[in-house]
Amino acid sequence: MNIILLGPPGAGKGTQAQHLAQSRDMIQLSTGDMLRAAKDSGSEMGQIVADVMARGDLVTDDIVIGLIRERLQGDKRGGVIFDGFPRTLAQADALDNLLTEQGETLDAVIELRVDDDTLVQRIVGRAEEAKAAGQAVRADDNADSVRQRLMEYYKKTAPLIGYYHAKGKLVPVDGLGGIDAVKADIEAALDR
Ligand code: ADP
């Protein structure tokens, strides 16, 4: 089974992807995590993406599609959970082609629905918790970057909701119910 977790920043994609990776022996491909790892590695590509990410802008399609292409070569176990990818229509088309090349199909696109006020509260809360605990705060978890990330989401990523709806793949899930309630809703949707 191959699925996409779609939703704005702070919707809970990472949390739910980790859960599904365990419960269904799937692999989680998070482009955000891959890009942060590239940044930390100090590679040339990492330096290029660091500023873009800190501002809350999207990294170019070529870079993220390249990362995903590379990861799709390996063992896919029970399937792949795409977390934070695709984020543009060009990425969605590229993913379609990559899956077709490998004889794979896309089973479902889980859309995590959360309102803007809650998103901002969650992200700012996450940054404050990290600060109080003496942990690193993500460079893009500040008010300006969060506003920019939301703007990028509505301009470039939200059109994917219509795209996958038209393909009959979209499964909207209420992302407000608490982590365990959301987990249960996603599991039920995938078992249907
Ligand atoms: P969030 O979902 O909380 O915004 P992510 O960790 O998924 O966080 O992404 C962090 C940043 O990484 C994004 O704001 C963007 O700059 C970059 N990024 C991640 N995935 C993509 C993608 N598929 N396309 C372009 N940029 C991406």
pLDDT value for 120: 92
Q: What predicted TM-score, i.e. pTM, was given to this entire model?
A: 0.94
pLDDT value for 192: 86
Verify whether ligand 1 is closer than 6 Å to residue 84 (CB atom).
Answer: yes
**Catalytic annotation present for 138:** yes
Torsional sign, CA 32, 33, 39, 42: negative
Verify whether ligand 1 is closer than 6 Å to residue 53 (CB atom).
Answer: yes
CB 133 within 8 A of CB 28: no
Statement: residue 168 has pLDDT above 90: yes
Q: Could you read off the pLDDT of 70-118 as tens digits, one per residue?
A: 999 988 999 999 999 999 999 999 999 999 999 999 999 999 999 999 9
**Catalytic annotation present for 39:** no
Q: Could you read off the pLDDT of 3-28 as tens digits, one per residue?
A: 999 999 999 999 999 999 999 999 99
SS3 103: coil
Helices then strands, counting H and E runs in the chain, come out as 9, 5
Verify whether ligand 1 is closer than 6 Å to residue 12 (CB atom).
Answer: no
Active-site residue identified among 36, 149, 169, 183? 149
**Catalytic annotation present for 24:** no
